Structure 1
């Protein structure tokens, strides 16, 4: 048997369960499948699941887990040998649940973390409430944070004296949260980030139409984060970012798919550099 076939055969004995919550998920799954691993995916919504159509997955779970127990039962039922937390950087609850579940079952856990984009220390906020202390009086602020944080961000921005606008995703929950935050009509844009003929074109048009001076987004490390960073630089807009949560302790972190594969290969081969067991 050739070295490549032996490598794929050895990987085939291992089952990786990927908890995906970012745009990198499909690429991760595809690479792991090409490397010979058995792969299962867990996503929150049917919309996210569509990106995995046609892949030879062992299992595709759609929907949130209602409890720590249900998550543990899912891990046990699938017979997985590795768990990859590739959820959104701000999805801290599921990350904490995964760490506990893997620790209890002695399952190796890896965290896929997207790299940070450059931001000045003065523009990085630890909490949404910190926005109220920023120099925003008379400024026109565009809120580009998650729907769950929109109301708190709007309250803080109003306390700072800003005139606020928002961009939300085209989902019923996001639009509902915008309404609760007092944002609708001409002060609300409903669209997905990065769509259109030119990446960032719609966002730039919004900023021009509303004469935006400042933008508040999350330090997610993803495409939306990069989009706002580039747009702010090009159009001389002040960018404020909500700092991403701290990494989970005692969980190995990878920043690329190639690094992930090296970590998994190292563990398969018995290397001491493999992932920790969630504890």
Structure 2
């Protein structure tokens, strides 16, 4: 039988799940997906799964050595910046090749009313300057607190899981929902709730971009948080096919056969 080489996927994203499926069906590699564990019941990926942190870059380096990991593919969320830095440091220390699999960022097109910010305090300032009254917060439950500083604004908080604890908003509604979202649904949501501004992260991808198309059509303003910086020198690809080609290149010949 074939002894397949273990590949660590830092996952939790659509790309990470797709990559795990591709590797699970591949004769050369065995996927081991690591999930952060921020959701209570994560969907199991194809292949092996571990949940939780490594203990920083040093802990990751030890794990890579102890587990005989052949390569690491960082397919974490574009805003999981800390893991990206730990991956770069840990892989360098262990001598294990590292790739970043990341969906392309969204780009504004004619008709968009976007303003970019680098942090949530900047987003709060933009909402205050534009006198936004009814705002869709499409950014997850862990980044809500800064927006409670706007007592004159009503917020629609869309999240996969309920905020716990809930920040002290003067007026807010929680909408539990998971993408992908349709253009028809997003258009209806913005109209029915009277949304005049959206706050979101530049996550990219197609699962949640319908809100941007709907906002463009309705003239709704968008406060978009820019992606955080990531380590220089780490190769980046946008597709699973490109990730597989990279693996072929960095792992060289096929693993030996054991009987």
Normalising to structure 2: TM-score of the pair?
Answer: 0.82
Deviation by residue 1:15-74 (Cα, 9 ceiling, x = unmatched): 2110102122221111122232111111123622x342xx3x2x3101233444433332
* Matched residues, number: 244
Normalising to structure 1: TM-score of the pair?
Answer: 0.77
Name the SS of the counterpart of 1:16 in structure 2: strand
Q: Distance in 2 between matches of 1:225 and 1:153?
A: 21
What does residue 71 of structure 2 align with? 82
Q: Which has the higher helix share?
A: 1
CA RMSD of aligned residues (A): 2.6
Q: Distance in 1 between matches of 2:250 and 2:35?
A: 25
1:199 aligns with 2:182: yes
Q: Where in structure 2 are the equivalents of 1:151-190 lying within 5 Å?
A: 151-155=145-149, 158=150, 163-171=153-161, 174-177=162-165, 179-182=166-169, 187-190=172-175
Deviation by residue 1:145-188 (Cα, 9 ceiling, x = unmatched): 13222112443xx2xx86231323243xx4224x224266xx22
Q: Distance in 1 between matches of 2:177 and 2:158?
A: 7
Name the SS of the counterpart of 2:163 in structure 1: helix
Verify the 8 A CA contact 2:114 2:222 in the aligned structure 1: no
**Higher RCO (CA 8 Å, separation ≥ 6 residues):** 2
What does residue 106 of structure 1 align with? 95
Shift of 1:242: 0.3
Q: Distance in 2 between matches of 1:138 and 1:99?
A: 40
1:230 aligns with 2:213: yes
Verify the 8 A CA contact 1:168 1:175 in the aligned structure 2: no
Q: Distance in 2 between matches of 1:269 and 1:65?
A: 27
Verify the 8 A CA contact 1:89 1:113 in the aligned structure 2: yes
1:142 aligns with 2:136: yes
**Structure 1 unmatched ranges of 5 or more:** 1-8, 271-279
Shift of 1:124: 1.5
Q: Distance in 1 between matches of 2:6 and 2:15?
A: 19
Deviation by residue 1:89-137 (Cα, 9 ceiling, x = unmatched): 1111111111111111111000111111122695111222222442321
